[in-house]
Amino acid sequence: MTETNEEYEVTQMPIWSAGEEWCGVTASMQLIGKKWHPVIISRLLKHGTLRFNQLQDEIGDITNKVLSDSLEDLQQKNLVARTVVNEKPVRVEYELTEQGKSLKPVIEALHKWGTTHVQPVTNDEDTLTQ
């Protein structure tokens, strides 16, 4: 097909091109700036290792496709590792790499802000009490 395994293609995209001032926030966003990445990482931080369906249950509202796509992206960015355990039925485990674990302070900051500055609306859709 392709001469030199173009599938892999080291998609370490150019984080920042010349001239522009490089910024840590921008850099972080290139790696975890997708909708579900921080949530997935938070669950793996909490549980260490999770299987596909466990992860999905923990998150709650994510579809198969989006979880699958997100995990693929996270692997490709070396934040998550995927292991196939040969049992029957086959078991697939996801866990954070060291790089992924290093995101702990970021996730903690997100968690803290979310819990202290966003109130969960306790639903029933008519409580406009704040």
Per the DSSP assignment, residues forming a β-bridge with 84 are 92
Report phi then psi at 122, rounded to 5.
15, 20
Q: Is 96 in the site for its own copies (CB under 8 A)?
A: no
Shortest spacing between CB 20 and its own copies, in angstroms: 4
Q: Does 78 bind DNA (CB under 7 A)?
A: no
- Least Å distance between CB 47 and DNA? 13
Residue number with CB closer to its own copies (31 or 92): 31
With CB under 5 to 8 Å by kind, the binding choice for 81 among its own copies, DNA, none is none
CA–CA distance, 130 with 125 (Å, rounded to integer): 12
Q: Residue for token digits 């969960």?
A: 120
**Running DSSP on this structure, what letter comes out for residue 22?**
P
